[in-house]
Amino acid sequence: MPLAALPVERDFQDLLDAAERLPELFGQLAAEGLPAMVEGDDFPESTLRRLHAWAVLEYRAALRLLRHADVAHATEVLLRGLLEFYSHVAWIHEGLPGDTRAPKTRATCLELGIATEANTTLTQKLAGWGAPDPRVHAAAAQRLQDIQAVHVAEGCTCKGHAYRDVQPMLKHLESAGINWPYGLWVVSSAAAHQLLPGRVEIDLGDRTSDFLTIATYTWRASLLSYVVRAYGLAGVRMLDMVNSHNVARFHQSIEQLVADVRMTDALEEKFDHRAFGEMDKLARALREVE
């Protein structure tokens, strides 16, 4: 019996619709009262815009996975990317303790890390794939040269902020009392590394097990709340850097979504109970028709 037939599923889809509107709201709040376009290499704005463009794809993809109970578990893999986005944004925003550089400078450090990684990938790691368009190489090399100049002009001598720098920032947030991102990053990394097949394994009680691919509402809601928080709280920090008078409004929208009664009901297993009841009712109605 398809879940789509159940009222409880429609309620959950409505909740996902509400979550799907967040990036649009963010875009409005970030642009409100500002000139239409930020100059190409204004930092940290351009870096945040680029990070955000990629993160929105992951955010929307996560919501689409959560719409379907048969693939919803895979959202856990996408969460890793969103948490790394959150970590990069938080690092640009506040840095690690003792870092006296401005967000503008740290944005160029991250750009340097991105450009360096792009060049390494193009010149080494993708070599086995055959020769890509040489213009891609040229553009990446030029980008690296340009960003090196910008970075030096900022007075920084670091080698660039790289993917391995995500973990120290998440650990710092944890020590500052924001403890969910690091733990979740560890779990989602394990999922991406294929180390959590037990996630979908169920004990049948007779010394055998089976694999449950349909995610419960409780599980889907839990993932949803983290997807919203990872994206949303990065958004709050970005607004604080680009359009700070709208921070409170965006923060409120995140809180409303996380505290939405559909979210809390689903988290408290009420949606799963509803689903069983509704399926039972449907089955009885079908039997009566026969």
Residues contributing to the site for Zn ion (CB under 5 A): 109, 156, 158
Residue 209 in tokens: 């097990």
In angstroms, what is the minimal distance from the CB of 151 to Zn ion? 6
Closer to Zn ion by Cβ: residue 105 or 225: 105
In angstroms, what is the minimal distance from the CB of 106 to Zn ion? 7
Closer to Zn ion by Cβ: residue 159 or 245: 159
In angstroms, what is the minimal distance from the CB of 83 to Zn ion? 22
- Asked if residue 287 lies in contact with residue 280, where contact means CB atoms within 8 angstroms, the answer is no
In angstroms, what is the minimal distance from the CB of 109 to Zn ion? 3
Which residue(s) pair with 210 in the sheet? Answer: 202
In angstroms, what is the minimal distance from the CB of 252 to Zn ion? 34
Closer to Zn ion by Cβ: residue 111 or 260: 111
Closer to Zn ion by Cβ: residue 83 or 147: 147
Amino acid identity of 161?
H
In angstroms, what is the minimal distance from the CB of 119 to Zn ion? 17
Amino acid identity of 128?
G
- Asked if residue 71 lies in contact with residue 80, where contact means CB atoms within 8 angstroms, the answer is no
Q: DSSP alpha helices (H): ranges in the chain?
A: 7-20, 22-31, 45-67, 75-94, 103-120, 134-153, 166-175, 180-192, 217-242, 247-259, 261-267, 270-289
Closer to Zn ion by Cβ: residue 33 or 155: 155
Phi then psi for residue 202, to 5 deg, are: -125, 140
- Please, what sign has the CA dihedral across residues 173, 54, 13, 186? negative
Closer to Zn ion by Cβ: residue 158 or 162: 158
- Asked if residue 122 lies in contact with residue 196, where contact means CB atoms within 8 angstroms, the answer is no
SS3 214: coil
